[in-house]
Structure 1
Amino acid sequence: MLKKEVIIKNKTGLHARPAAVFVEAADRFESDVEIIFDGIAVNAKSIIGVLSLGIGKGDQITLVTEGSDEKEALEYLIEIIENSFGENGGGEYDTL
């Protein structure tokens, strides 16, 4: 199991499109992925779970990955967050 704390930097936080981008990315991996925010843990592969956290700009979350590709999953999800979910042209993370 791997854990990493990350600050959400994009202007809208983890809502609507950024949440969809994040959930789709998490779903690409076999590992279990959780987001912990304000003491609540949710499955990061669930759009309802992610949206229910109400994560905004500047909020700190903890990502937890566990499974056969946990390292790759954690690194990729952190990259997406650091690139503001592609909102600033910082990555190709558009949803299908």
Structure 2
Amino acid sequence: MAERRVTVGWAEGLHARPASIFVRAATASGVPVTIAKGDSSPVNAASMLAVLSLGAQGGEEIVLTSEAEGADAALDRLAKLVSEGLEELPETV
């Protein structure tokens, strides 16, 4: 299982627009990814409602995981997006 622990870089956390950006990137990764905050149960990273339900704030740590083939590259891209609070994920990442 591949895992990345990352601090949320968006000041407003994973709410509304940042969550939408993240969910689109998770869906586009082509691998099933889960996201969790603290001791909460992991949720589907491609689900807007699930991601919003975490209530992840800026500066909090989240955990991204996947057991799929190609997970390391996908998690690296998603971790960069979250940690840097990017508006979109560049193709070259």
Could you say whether these structures have the same fold, taking a TM-score greater than 0.5 normalized by the shorter chain as the test?
A: yes
Deviation for aligned residue 1:51: 0.1
**Whole-angstrom distance in 2 between the partners of 1:5 and 1:38:** 10
Q: What's the counterpart of residue 14 of structure 1?
A: 14
- TM-score, normalising length from structure 2? 0.86
Q: What's the counterpart of residue 29 of structure 1?
A: 29
User: 8 Å contact 2:35–2:62 — kept in the other structure?
Assistant: yes
Q: Which amino acid aligns with 1:66?
A: E
1:48 aligns with 2:46: no
Per-residue Cα deviation, 1:45-75 (whole angstroms, up to 9, x for no partner): 0000000010001111111022122011101
Runs (4+) of structure 1 moved beyond 3 Å?
A: none
Root-mean-square deviation over aligned CA pairs: 1.5
- TM-score, normalising length from structure 1? 0.83
Give identity over the alignment, percent: 35
- When the two structures are aligned, how many residues end up with a matched partner? 89
Q: Which amino acid aligns with 2:63?
A: T
Q: Which amino acid aligns with 2:38?
A: D
1:82 aligns with 2:68: no
**Whole-angstrom distance in 2 between the partners of 1:56 and 1:29:** 23
Unaligned runs of 5+ in 2: none
User: 8 Å contact 2:77–2:89 — kept in the other structure?
Assistant: no
